Amino acid sequence: MNGLPDVFNGQVHRAARYGIPVVLGLVYGLWAAANRRDGGPITGWNVLFGFVTAIAFIVLCLAVARFAPLLKRELHSLVKSAFAGASVGFLYSQTGASVLSSAGLGVAVTAAVFGVFFYRYYTREDAVGNRVR
């Protein structure tokens, strides 16, 4: 068993801490650019929009991952779910949907994700906010 790599060591976690948001951001930027061009030709502005969207997503994702765990469980859940809802709402808005329907979808996703995250954090922390193992 000495020949097998330790896939749960600190180096793998450090690489994943930055690798996952970068990959998610690139996929998100590609998706947003594809939604925006609506099957039309790929232009330089469309590519630029995709990269700017990807960079914004990566920066926000890293900020949420870094600072949200420092908050109480309610705000922790709200910050992560608001990021998810805003991301989905923005993607939907790039399809040409109205602002009201995009905001409505974003709020619905935020509420659903908030319920999941709040339940997860509520059942894994004590009353003070310390993790229960």
Distance between CA 23 and CA 59 in Å, rounded? 12
Domain stops at, among 70, 102, 118: 70
pLDDT, tens digit, 9 for 90 and up, residues 73-120: 889 999 999 999 999 999 999 999 999 999 999 999 999 999 999 998
Domain stops at, among 70, 88, 106: 70
Q: Is residue 2 scored above 70 in pLDDT?
A: no
The pTM assigned to this predicted structure is 0.86
Domain stops at, among 53, 70, 87: 70
Distance between CA 24 and CA 35 in Å, rounded? 16
84 and 51 share one domain: no
